[in-house]
Amino acid sequence: MPSSYISIPVSFCILIIATSLCSAADTISAGQPLAGRGGKLVSKNGKFALGFFQRWTGSRSSTPKWYLGIWFNTVPELTPAWVANRENPLPDGTSSELIISDDGNLAIFNRPNRSILWSSQANTTTNNTIAVLLNSGDLVLSDASNSTAIFWRSFDHMTDTFLPGARMGRNKVTGWTHGLVSNKNSHDLSPGIYSGHPSPDSANFELLLSWNSSVTYWSSGQWEGQYFSNMPEMSGRYLFFSEFVSNDREEYYTYWLKNETVVTRYVLDVDGQAKMVLWSDASAEWIFFYPKPDAQCEAYAVCGPFTVCREDVLPFCNCMKGFSIRSQEDWELGDRTGGCNRNIPLNCASSNSGISGGLTDMFYAMRNVIYPDNAKHIEAGSAEECGKSCLGDCSCYAYSYSGKCSVWNSQLLNVLQRYNGSASDEGILYLRLAAEELKTSKHKRRMIVRLVIAATIFAALSLFAIICMFVRRRKRQHSSMEPSNIRGGIMAFGYKDLRHATKNFSEKLGGGSFGSVFKGVLPDSTVIAVKRLDGARQEEKEFRAELSSIGMIQHINLVKLIGFCCQGSKRLLVYEYMPNHSLDAHLFQSSGMPLCWGTRYKIALGVARGLAYLHENCQDCIIHCDIKPQNILLDASFVPKIADFGMAKFVRRDFSRVITTMRGTMGYLAPEWISGVAISSKVDVYSYGMVLLEIIFGRRNSGEEYNSDSTYLPVQVVNKLLQGNVQCLMDQSMHDGINLEEVERACRVACWCIQDHESHRLTMGEVVWILEGLIKVDVPPMPKVLEAISGGTDSTIA
């Protein structure tokens, strides 16, 4: 009897000790503080942890600082999701603990001098409270005897991270707003200059991004029922559900995950972009997508004062001429609010007194810029007068003149340079610099001017000679309608000739945003396809891209350019005619002839060979940038030809990457496009993988057929590959002749091509070898981004 009496409390104690050893607690109560040294709360699902951690807040500052915060427990690199004391980091976390203070609030208690260093400062009605770290990553302080009486929660005090389940909005009763404030730099967690918050106008709920609480540079637009108008990708089709709630007490936007196991967050980055971020176990890194605003330079003053932001060069922030970086250390940590400093001070006094011969300030013309803010308009009859009045004012830093005179008296913020580099008189900013600054380059400039003049004269003479030759030749062939052969077999056609050949552009083969394609016949009865570029804005760029890429190369799997016409404003390209049109007609449209397996496999291999040639065999690597079934044409015997090089990019051999604006077609875009980093030829590999899946299965990866009941095709394919049973997904229209070994091989290739991380994808050369059966590959891992975006695996699909 007595033995059993004793055994109950003993085993009870053992149980308590065992649970506290095995799993970290998720609760703090009055008697159970969290120790600064080694203490940690872990949410029940193991996803989040709370505790003290240290961070170096600057690369050269010697001692790390301590923060109390919540981080992602399953992610190896410590990534804070919330920080309690971002304004007041602790010098030493090991002597502190997180307690429930006498008034029931959460507090950081410093043991050596018994002081409170941080408190949740809520109006508690009892001091009998507990704090629990929930599965969502929310730390909630509530009445210990009534968990629905909540006094404070970390979700109401977000730092730079908006976790699924948190609310971005406003409490209409108290006026409290829930928003984000970026970190100061990539190490220092103290509040930075960018903020994300609901619009102050409560009649019109929008989410805004602002700089220094004063300049709004991006807005989400109105709620459209399922998403905000400027962020349609948040419609919750793939990764999460979104919701906007508005009632008497509050209005807020929230989102939550379709699959709780995905580790993701929405963050307002130090560079002013708000982004969705997803942890990829496969590549062991955070993957960014859906940045807002889309372009880095649209984040207001992202480079700081006296800088120029350009989208097309890396680094995108550069000092203006005559300026250098103020603090290299801050700059490298991503905090560029300091901007750049003037190298040589202005000689304002001497220019003001008008002493001739003395050093005066001069202006440096910056072309193609979008002007800084806060211009002051003054009366001036001419550009010269405008410049003079700027020189006369010691506080004038720059001027511009386009009908009216604008001057800038404050530091120049948010200057963007356009990327196409064509000189135009619009958008010239005259930057005031000390004369010494320009003197050094003036000598050089004179040299350059002389060279340019010489080159121009030479070019003019050559052009004259060519025109003379051309005119004489045309006179000779006047009635023969022979186009002139310029180089490498490419002909220059006259517009009239092409209009005649296409019977006044009567037989249209297709069209797109670029313009239209027409069928035609040349006098020697060659059948041609004539592409007429109509889009006024892009046409010159695309015309040149196409001429310079496809014009110089020839390969059986690349469409052959026969010639072009460049007359006045007319831009046309002439190709060999493809009787079987484009691949998408055969794959997705009932009108096209269904392709048998053997043909499909040959097409897949042909496209791979064409791309491998572009990437690896040309003088410069050519990235096509828009591989999709519409751009793969089929000749009479179904040999595939890659077409439409209007978006192609050249990458010099000694570089492997190029930074460019996003181009291509949704559904075939590699994730790195979306995250805005420099791209490589692996973007084509990704698109090829997507196209290959469509070739194999004869249906679109996504589109109208897609609904939330069926899993995204690429994800299904990887699942079936892992189960060793891809045949069950095959197109019914192919009847027989399916070579199961080839199907398996092609599926593996496709899935290796669509891996999240570029380095995991195959090269096009490897794709060719594998499809030819020369080398073998293993079953690929699941591409995590795709899986997450498509809402996870679905085992109910047979």
Ligand X SMILES: *[C@@H]1O[C@H](CO)[C@@H](O)[C@H](O)[C@H]1NC(C)=O
Q: Which residues bind ligand X (CB under 6 A)?
A: 30, 91, 102, 110, 113, 115, 122-123, 127, 146, 148-149, 212, 214, 259, 261, 337, 418, 420, 422, 540-541, 792-793
CB 109 → ligand X: shortest distance, Å? 10
Least Cβ distance, residue 420 to ligand X (angstroms):
4
Count the neighbouring beta carbons within 10 Å of the beta carbon of residue 154: 26
Q: What is the CA radius of gyration of the chain?
A: 33
CB-based contact 372:412 (threshold 8 Å): yes
Nearer to ligand X, 708 or 733 (CB): 708
Is 626 labeled as catalytic in the residue annotation?
yes
Of 546 and 694, which has the nearer Cβ to ligand X? Answer: 546
Nearest to 272 by CA among 324, 348, 316, 218: 218
3-state secondary structure of 89: coil
Closest CA to 492 of 578, 561, 577: 561
472: number of Cβ within 10 Å: 9
| In the complex, residue closest to ligand X by CB | 792
**How many of the other CB atoms lie within 10 Å of CB of 774?**
9
Instruction: Confirm whether residue 560 is marked as ligand binding.
Output: no
* Residues paired with residue 642 on neighbouring β-strands, in sequence order: 558, 632
Q: 448 — phi, psi (to 5°)?
A: -60, -40
Q: Which candidate in 188, 335, 626, 684 is catalytic?
A: 626
* Per-residue exposure over 373-400, b if at least 16 CB sit within 10 Å of its own CB, e if not: eebeebebeebeebbebbbebeebbbbb
Q: Which residue has the tokens 């589109």?
A: 703
> Please, which residue, 559 or 718, has the CB nearer to ligand X?
718
Distant-in-sequence contacts of 216-225, Cβ < 8 A, 24+ apart: 217/272, 217/293, 217/298, 217/299, 217/300, 218/274, 218/292, 218/293, 218/298, 218/299, 220/292, 223/253
CA distance 651 to 658: 6
DSSP string, 110-173: ETTTTEEEEE-----S-S-EEEEE-TTS-EEEEETTEEEEEEEEGGGG--SEE-TT--EEEETT
How would you label 736-766 residue by residue, b for 16+ Cβ within 10 Å and e otherwise?
A: eebeeebbbbbbbbbbbbbbbbbebbbbbbb
Q: Find the distance separating the first CA and the last CA of the chain, reported in whole Å.
A: 61
| 561, 490 contact by CB (below 8 A) | yes
Task: Output the known binding site for ATP.
Answer: 531
Annotated binding site: 531
Q: Any idea which residues carry the catalytic annotation?
A: 626
